[in-house]
A and B are shown apart, each in its own frame.
Chain A
Amino acid sequence: QQQVKQSPQSLIVQKGGISIINCAYENTAFDYFPWYQQFPGKGPALLIAIRPDVSEKKEGRFTISFNKSAKQFSLHIMDSQPGDSATYFCAASSAGNQFYFGTGTSLTVIP
């Protein structure tokens, strides 16, 4: 079964807008929640990650919001730029063992 559920499947945002991608999980043993960015023909690249002992982490224009009780976490991209157009994956793992990825969100930022 899908261990990490991601939505939406695709997202179109105007330049300067906020992009929001959501993920949900069931396994309470997960202790590491990264977000990856992938461009066509490339491997995923780590964007930002969070552990469940904090509710928010911000790095530049990228913020993860984490809700432990709801078992949900989301990625917010502020001031979205055309260069942010890519596919984004959330993931989860326990003790760095098997990583479970969401199905991805294709983001298009319109100039």
Chain B
Amino acid sequence: DTGVSQNPRHKITKRGQNVTFRCDPISEHNRLYWYRQTLGQGPEFLTYFQNEAQLEKSRLLSDRFSAERPKGSFSTLEIQRTEQGDSAMYLCASSLARDPVNEQFFGPGTRLTVL
């Protein structure tokens, strides 16, 4: 399967713990996006990378959140000192930045539950 993959698919953690999620984009895609989606809402942008550079980060993103894409391939999203409000689906998407098309392909998401 050459689509976007995310691991783990589900994560249950206790409040205050740190969690890390991984996203593997489609191999030739140079852009990678992270979103958060809560029940009944649309995906909310968190951050995105072009190659290994983090180009944009949502102002709503707490300092407890950090993302990396060290070699321009896979990416990790870490949440430190989790809070119950962090419970959500975390989605990753990738695209090939080219004009005029910029189609994003989404992974299946990681569902986080903070107890």
Asked if B44 and A51 sit within 8 Å, CB to CB, the answer is no
Binds A, one of B63-71, B80-88, B95-103: B95-103
Given contacts A49-B103, A51-B100, A99-B104, contact A44 B43 (CB under 8 A): yes
Rounded to whole angstroms, the CA-CA distance of A63 and B89 in the bound complex is 29
B25 CB–A CB distance under 8 Å: no
Taking CB atoms, residues of chain B closer than 8 Å to A103 are: 40-42
Taking CB atoms, residues of chain A closer than 8 Å to B35 are: 99, 101
Asked if A44 and B100 sit within 8 Å, CB to CB, the answer is no
Interface core residue of B40, B43, B56, B108 (most chain A CB under 10 Å): B43
Asked if B48 and A101 sit within 8 Å, CB to CB, the answer is no
Asked if B109 and A43 sit within 8 Å, CB to CB, the answer is yes
